[in-house]
Structure 1
Amino acid sequence: MGRLEILKNLYRLITTGFLKKLMPRTLFARSILIVVLPILFLQILVTYIFYERHWDDVARRLAQGVAGDVATVISMIDRFPGNSAHAYILSAARGQMRLAISIDEGGKLPAGADEPKEYGFLESHLARALQESLPARPFVISTNKKLESVIILVQLPDALLQVIVHDKRLFSTTTYIFVMWMVAISLALLSIALLFLRNQMRPIRQLAAAAEQFGKGQFVDDFKSSGAQEIRQASRAFHVMKHRILRQITQRTEMLAGVSHDLRTPLTRMKLQLAMMPDDGDKSSLEGDVADMEQMVEGYLAFARGQEAEAVETADLSELFHEIINNARRQGTAISLKTPRELSVSIRPNSFKRCITNLINNGARHATEIWVEVGSDDADVIITIDDDGPGIPKENRDDVFRPFYRLDPSRNTETGGSGLGMTIARDVIHGHGGQIALGTSPVGGLRIEIRLPK
């Protein structure tokens, strides 16, 4: 398989999403991975080069030095026979060559010494060096249990030479020093990088928390921009956006206060004039029109006023639903409730109560019985409202959330209201950071599912 084919397979592996599943999800973990992987690859590369080149060369040269000293001692023993000469040679080897040498007169190598053996890293270098220095001498290499020394047995014509080489002559201490320094420096650099990344992640988390809080309609204090330049820019843009939205909400509220006064004043005058008119058919018709106009004005104002004036507080959702259901039952609605004993959540109680009341009233207008269930999972509070009415066709379920949209084409408020109930309910749910969806109920009518974050 060529390099081009390997690159193609690697590209397919990345694009299939296999590596994406192995990647951590948080930015902090991915940043750590970006920092750790180069350091890890660098250490592996440096260690490979060091062990493959430097340590191999050092070990070979040390082995050659030991093999040369052993060959020198054997040459001197052969050149100068006699016990006194041998004693002098062995004493000089111990003092000057740091070799513990002894001669066993008449000794023989163990059986099977001539057979090839598998040596370790240092033993293999030493064996090759001895073969070069002592081509005609059989020998055996072994190590003690604590790996503090290497024992070399060399067969002489009429004796067995034993050489004990201490680890200082075969091992380079710079190897361990290099590895320890490399690991220590890498850990220090990694700690500094982690501290720096953690400080960079803090303003991102702060911005994300503020955006989520503001998205739920909660009040968010201005915070000081910190971190990298891009993060500071995003924080400043968030503050500008927040103040622009709040200013728009304030202007809308002030405008609606004036609209409310201007619309209610002529309606009040019309109601007063109708009260002074004689009772006849025209008066009843006009009173009905004025009542419808007043109801529509209140609906429009409720839609436009929104929920910005109410503060968020922790409320018991079970208690709130019991209150809503009891009010609905007093109005003659056949409704049942299934809810846990206690379920605390951060909401705007009045706005949320108005939202659920609108949904129940809509269901009561078209159905004979309503079922409400409140539950929760690990992340959300789940509210389902089922009824046995005609339901809403699938193609119209998105349209009912549009302002002033009514399934009934007539504008009769007795059959369809003002067309703002579902719109207000959706705005309230979205203002709490939740979602609302319509579906088909198991009993054949409409199912409304609401999800609120805990």
Structure 2
Amino acid sequence: MPKRFHIRLRDITPRGLYPRSVLMVVLPMILLLSAVTYIFYDSHWRHTSRKLSQTISSEIQFMVELRRQYPDQFDALRDEASRSMQLDATVLENSRIPTEQKRLFFSALDDIFSRELDVSLDQPFWFDISGYGEKVEIQVQDGPDVIRFMAERDRTFSTTGHIFIVWVIGASGILIALALGFLRNQVRSILKLTEAAKAYGRGRDADNYRPSGATEIRDAARAVMDMRTRLTTFAEQRTTMLAGISHDLRTPLTRLKLQLAMMEETDDIRAAREDLRQMGAMLDEYLAFASGVEGEAPTEMRFDTLVADTVAALGGQATIRKADAVSIIAREGLIRRAVTNLISNAQGFGDRVEIDIIEGPHMAELVIDDDGPGIPPDEREEAFRPFHRLDASRNQNVPGTGLGLSIARDTARQHGGDIRLEDSPLGGLRVRLRLPI
């Protein structure tokens, strides 16, 4: 069955709010202006010009007939016509009319006048509308002679139609400018709110932002600011509570470590010390996941340098294939922890780990490939769930809490980025971390 293509309106219209608003204002105005201009041109200006051209053509025909019937009295008749009809006539003896027709840029006048002259006259004729200022020149071939007529331009066709068009275009231009200025102010308020919301979402402050614009925009801005305040308060309370729990748990853990240090070294004691060490690491990871946004301020940093330092600190078999020099603005501690989690996960499940640091037009990308068992596509979203561990694709014997990917994605989204899981060319899993430049 052949594939059918459907053209949707949103595919051919601008996607931005301001361009769409401009289109909504300008397009109806242009259509209205075009309709008014066409109606005026067709029903008034063209009709008026045709009637005037018919009158002049009839007067010229009348003068040509007078010369034929009364050649000896034509001079007197010509003077009378000049006074009564404002039509000057001159006989050019033994002459020929020009062969090249002069035409206006706006050819409708030429077409109207030429058609009326052609209807009225049997003789060849020539005319020039483009020159002589307020006069129009018409030449008629009358036997071996040429009769040259000079008519008033205002009596030949309508000369005031363009004034109406200019007024319509000018008024429309003023209305469009006023509408665009109003729209720009309203859209600017929405764009400021968008930037402030993005900054809040990335954990930054927008101290210079003040609600502005229409009442609805101000209400939306206040709602965003109130929501940020509530979320910040909730995060601070959660962090404070978990910090207290962590402190309370570390105290008995520290006592246990001291007691084990004073005991005789045996396999059981060494195993108990390792359990205590893992419990301390788990507490740190739980606190890091629950705290989310730290008090650390965002700073400009070299992302490629941070990744290289992390790889060197972790050691192992990870290698950097490509490293573009790219800078980002982020909380260094959170980004370092996220990168550490991603690389250590790849090292834990694969024997070969290769890393790329790519600078895109808007995003910095960290691509981590491993040759491990990978994760099936239908389970990749589940891998980001806190405390979730995959049975089939990832080995349960690898130590951890199931928070590595959760912390990494949470950190990426706090900074306006994200993490995606894909198939790796090495046969395992590809992790793609994207952060805004």
TM-score greater than 0.5 by the shorter chain: yes
CA distance in 2, matches of 1:152, 1:352: 88
Q: Deviations over 1:178-231 (max 9, x none)?
A: 222222222222222222222222112112222222222222226222223332
**Correspondence 1:248 to 2:248:** no
Give the C-alpha shift of residue 252 in structure 1: 1.3
Contact 1:108/1:155 (8 A) holds in 2? no
C-alpha RMSD of the superposition: 3.4
The residue that corresponds to 1:142 in the other structure is: 126
Q: Report the equivalent of 1:237.
A: 223
Give the whole-Å Cα distance in 2 for the aligned partners of 1:195 and 1:261: 58
Write the deviation string for residues 73-124 of structure 1: whole angstroms up to 9, x where unpaired. 5687689x584x533322232234221213468999999xxxxxxx721222
1:110-140 alpha-carbon deviations (Å, 9 max, x no partner): 99xxxxxxx7212223444x36xxxxxx333
The count of aligned residue pairs is: 419
- Report the AA paired with residue 82 of structure 2: R
For residue 374 of structure 1, the aligned residue among 343, 346, 357 is 357
Q: Which moved more, 1:400-409 or 1:27-36?
A: 400-409
Q: 1:435 to 1:87 in 2, by over 3 A?
A: same
* Paired residue secondary structure (1:16): coil
Q: Does 1:344 align with 2:327?
A: yes
Partner Cα distance (1:32, 1:140) in 2: 54
Structure 2 residue 142 is matched with structure 1 residue 151: no
What SS does the aligned partner of 2:297 have?
coil
Structure 2 segments unaligned to the other structure (5+ residues): 100-109
Cα distance, 1:299 vs. partner?
2.1
* Alpha carbons 2:371, 2:429 under 8 Å: kept: yes
The one-letter code of the counterpart of 2:277 is A
Q: Per the alignment, in what secondary structure is the counterpart of residue 323 of structure 2? A: coil
1:120 maps to which residue?
A: 111
Q: Deviations over 1:388-432 (max 9, x none)?
A: 3333344433222211122369xx997321222222122112222
Residues 70 and 301 of structure 1, relative CA distance in 2, 3 Å threshold: closer
The partner residue of 1:53 within 43, 48, 61 is 43
Alignment partners' CA distance in 2, 1:399 and 1:107 = 98
Displacement of 1:288 in angstroms is 4.5
Structure 2 counterpart of 1:210, from 186, 189, 196: 196
- Alpha-carbon shift at residue 310 of structure 1 (Å): 1.6
Shift of 1:269: 3.5
Q: Structure 1 residue 155: deviation in Å?
A: 5.0
Structure-2 change in CA distance of 1:282 and 1:318 (3 Å): closer
For residues 266 and 168 of structure 2, the distance between their equivalents in structure 1, rounded to whole angstroms, comes to 102
2:53–2:112 CA contact under 8 A, matched in 1: no
Deviation of 1:315 after TM superposition, in Å, equals: 0.7
Query: Which stretch of structure 1 is more off in the superposition, 186-195 or 61-70?
Result: 61-70
User: Cα distance 1:44–1:145, how it changes in 2: closer, same or farther (>3 A)?
Assistant: closer
Show the counterpart of 1:41: 31
TM-score by length of 2: 0.83
State the one-letter code of the partner of 1:290.
L
Q: For structure 1, list consecutive stretches of 5 or more residues without a partner in the other structure.
A: 1-12, 112-118, 132-137
| Structure 2 match to 1:311 | 297
Question: Pick from 78, 82, 89: which aligns with 1:101?
Answer: 89
Residue identity in the other structure for 1:224? R
Rate the CA distance shift 1:350–1:91 in 2: closer, same or farther, 3 A: same
Check whether the contact 1:405–1:420 (CA below 8 A) recurs between aligned residues.
Answer: yes
Residue 320 (structure 1) aligned with residue 306 (structure 2): yes
Kindly indicate whether the alpha-carbon contact (under 8 Å) linking 1:406 and 1:416 is maintained by their aligned counterparts in 2.
no
Residue 318 of structure 1: how far off its partner (Å): 1.9
Which amino acid in the other structure matches residue 87 of structure 2? L
Report what 1:89 is aligned to.
Answer: 77
- Contact 1:429 1:452 (8 Å CA) reproduced: yes
1:179 corresponds to: 165
Q: Report how far residue 270 of structure 1 moved.
A: 3.5
Q: SS at 2:124's partner residue?
A: strand
Kept in 1, the 8 Å contact 2:202–2:415? The answer is yes
- C-alpha change, 1:75 and 1:251, in structure 2 (3 Å) is same
SS at the partner of 1:120? Answer: helix
1:172 aligns to what SS in structure 2?
Answer: coil
Contact 1:373 1:385 (C-alpha < 8 Å) held by counterparts: yes
Asked if 1 retains the 8 angstrom alpha-carbon contact of 2:285 and 2:403, the reply is: yes
Q: Whole-Å Cα distance in 2 between the matches of residues 159 and 343 of structure 1?
A: 87
| Distance (whole Å) between structure 2 residues aligned to residue 154 and residue 232 of structure 1 | 78
Q: Does 1:417 align with 2:403?
A: no
Distance 1:266 1:127 in 2: 114
Q: Which moved more, 1:95-104 or 1:170-179?
A: 95-104
In structure 1, what is the equivalent of residue 207 of structure 2? 221
CA contact (8 A) 1:139 1:152 kept: no
* Residues 190-199 or 346-355, more deviating: 190-199
Match of 1:298 among 281, 284, 302: 284
Residue 54 of structure 1 deviates from its aligned partner by 0.9
User: Aligned residue for 1:7?
Assistant: none
1:200 aligns to 2:186 (yes or no): yes
For 1:34, the aligned partner's letter is: M
Distance (Å, rounded) in 2 between the aligned partners of 1:350 and 1:342: 20
Cα deviation for residue 374 of structure 1 reads 0.9
66-75 vs 344-353, greater mean Cα deviation:
66-75
Q: 2: CA distance between counterparts of 1:108 and 1:310? A: 95
Residue 419 of structure 2 is aligned to residue 436 of structure 1:
yes
Contact 1:292 1:413 (C-alpha < 8 Å) held by counterparts: no
Describe the superposition over 1:371-400 as per-residue Cα deviations: whole angstroms up to 9, x where unpaired: 111112222222111223333344433222
Between the aligned partners of 2:397 and 2:116, the Cα distance in structure 1 is 101
Q: Give, in whole Å, the separation in 2 of the partners of 1:413 and 1:262.
A: 30
